[in-house]
Amino acid sequence: MALMPVMWPSFLGFLHFAAALLVVIRVLLKRRMSPPARLAWILLIEVLPVVGITAYLLFGEVRMRRAERQRMADVRNQLTGVWQRAPETVAAVPAYAEPVVASIEAGGGMEPVRGNRITLLEESDLAIARLVAALDAAEEEIHLLFYIWLPDHSGTQVAEAVIRARGRGIAVRLIVDALGSRLLVRSALWGRMQAAGAECVRAFPWGNPLVSMLFQRLDLRNHRKIVVIDDRLAFTGSRNCADMAFAIKPRYAPWIDVLMAVEGPVVRQLQAVFLQDWMSYTGQDHGDELKAVPAADTPGEIAQVLATGPDLRQERLPDSIATLIHASRSSVTITTPYYVPDEAIDNAIRSAARRGVRVTLILPERNDSRIVSATSEGYFRELLRAGVRLMLFRGGLLHAKIVTVDGRMSLSGSANLDRRSFDLNYEVNLFVIDEEFTAVLDHRQQSYIERARRLTLEDVEGWTRLRRIRNNLLAIAAPLL
C-alpha cells in the first residue's frame, strides 16, 4: 500500500534522522580524529540536514585506497632497510635542540646530520635561474618534484633545461601533482619532455572523479618541492616552478617564496623522500640509488628532514612545530600564508608570548583564499591579547613558510600552518640548527616586516560585529577546513 502523501514528510524526516545518527556514530568511532574535529562535524551534521552528512562523507575522513597506503608503507620499509646511518650523523645535538630533534624523529623524520651547506636563494626569479644553471651542470641524474609547475617563463626555462639534460644523456625523473600542475600536463612542454626521454609522472591523478571519490579523497595532494641533482645538490622550500607573477592568480602577485640550495649529507634525506614518492607511484625499485652524500662543509650546519603525509599519523607535523615553539627562550618569528592551526600550535604560540618570548607572526594582508583569511582573523584577538606581534605583509602574496627560534634553529619548507598541510598534503620541511643560517632567514623575515603593517588589538576590537561573528564562526569550524 502506497504511503499517504501526508506521511512523506514524516518518513523523510525519519530517514534523515537515521542517516544522521549513523554518520554521527561513525564520527564518534573514527580513529585519528581530534575532539574539536568530532564536535565540529557533529554540529554540522545536525544543523545542516543532508548537507552536513554529504560533506562528511566526502571530506570528513582521510580516505586512501588500502592498496596504495600499503604500497607506500612497503616502500618506506624497503628504504629504511637500505638506510645506513651516515658518519655525519650527530650523536649529541645541542641541548636546546634535543626536544625538537626527538619530536621529528618520533614522527618518522630522519636523524640530524652535520656537514651541510644551505644557501637561501634570491627573492626573485633569479632563484629559478640558479636552478636552471644547476640543471645544466648535471652530469648523471636529475630528480624533480613540484606541486605547481606552470608553463610560464620560469616553468619553460626548467622544462628546456630538462630537455637539454636528456640531450646530454642525463637520466631525468620528474613528478608533478596532477591538480596543481594540470596546465603543464596539458601543454606542449609535457609532451616535449616525454619525447626527449624524461620519465614523467603525475601524483594523484583523478581519473573518473565519481568513481575515485568512493575510495579516496579527491583533495589529497603532493605539495612537496624537491630537486636533487647528481646526489650532491638539492633545492627545496616553498617556491613552485613558476614565475613570481604567478599567471594563474596574477591579482595577488608577486608571490613571495623561499628556495634553498642544499649540499651535504642531508641531500640524501631529500633524495629518500623523492624516491619514496617515485617508487610508490610507479612500482619501480630504485632503492639502490640511495647513496651516501659527502660533507659539504666542516663542521657545517646540522640539518634534518621531516616529510609528512596523510598515510601517516597526522599529528607528526604540528607536534614538531609546537615542540620547536615550546623550546623558545627569547624569540620566535613565523611566516606563513595560511594560519588555520590546530589547538597545540595556537596554544604554543600564545604560551610563548605570555612567558616573555618575543613572538612575531607574519601573514599576507591579501590572501588568495577569503575563507582562510577570515578563519585566520578568528584567532587574531587571542593572539594579540597574549602579546603576539601580528604583521600583515603588503607586498604581494607572502607564500613563504618559515619558523625561526632564538636565532639558532629554523624550520622551513612546503608546509603551511593549516589543517590541509597537517592532514591532507604530502609535505617536506628542513630543520636546521645553525646560528648563521637562522640569521639569514631572520634577515629575510625582517624584510617582510619592513613591507608590512602592524595589526593591533585596537584594530581588531574596532571590527564590525558582523565581521567578528563571521570570523569566530569560521574559527570554530577550523577543524573542518
User: Is 342 designated active site?
Assistant: no
User: Is 230 designated active site?
Assistant: yes
Cell numbers standing for residue 160: 628546456
Q: Any idea which residue has 635542540 for its cell?
A: 97
Cell numbers standing for residue 115: 656537514
User: Is 406 designated active site?
Assistant: yes
In angstroms, the CA 280 to CA 71 distance is: 6
User: Is 249 designated active site?
Assistant: no
In angstroms, the CA 90 to CA 111 distance is: 8
The type of residue at 214 is L
Catalytic residue among 223, 231, 326, 423: 223
User: Is 277 designated active site?
Assistant: no
Catalytic residue among 399, 418, 423, 434: 399
Catalytic residue among 177, 225, 257, 434: 225
Catalytic residue among 219, 311, 406, 459: 406
Cell numbers standing for residue 249: 592568480
Catalytic residue among 30, 219, 230, 442: 230
User: Is 223 designated active site?
Assistant: yes
Cell numbers standing for residue 377: 582573523
Catalytic residue among 125, 152, 277, 401: 401
Cell numbers standing for residue 226: 624537491
| Contact present, 180 and 414 (Cβ < 8 Å) | no
3-state secondary structure the chain: CCCCHHHHHHHHHHHHHHHHHHHHHHHHHCCCCCHHHHHHHHHHHHHCCCHHHHHHHHHCCCCCCHHHHHHHHHHHHHHHHHCCCCCCECCCCCHHHHHHHHHHHHCCCCCCEEEEEEEECCCCCHHHHHHHHHHHCCCCEEEEEECCECCCHHHHHHHHHHHHHHHCCCEEEEEEECCCCHHHHHCHHHHHHHHHCCEEEEECCCCCHHHHCCCCCCCCEECCCEEEECCCEEEEECCCECCCCCCCCHHHCCEECCEEEEECCHHHHHHHHHHHHHHHHHCCCCHHHCCCCCCCCCCCEEEEEEEECCCCCCCHHHHHHHHHHHCCCCEEEEECCCEECCHHHHHHHHHHHHCCCEEEEEEECCCCCHHHHHHHHHHHHHHHHHCCEEEEECCCEECCCEEEECCCEEEEECCCEEHHHHHHEEEEEEEEECHHHHHHHHHHHHHHHHCEEEECHHHHHCCCHHHHHHHHHHHHCHHHC
Catalytic residue list:
223, 225, 230, 399, 401, 406
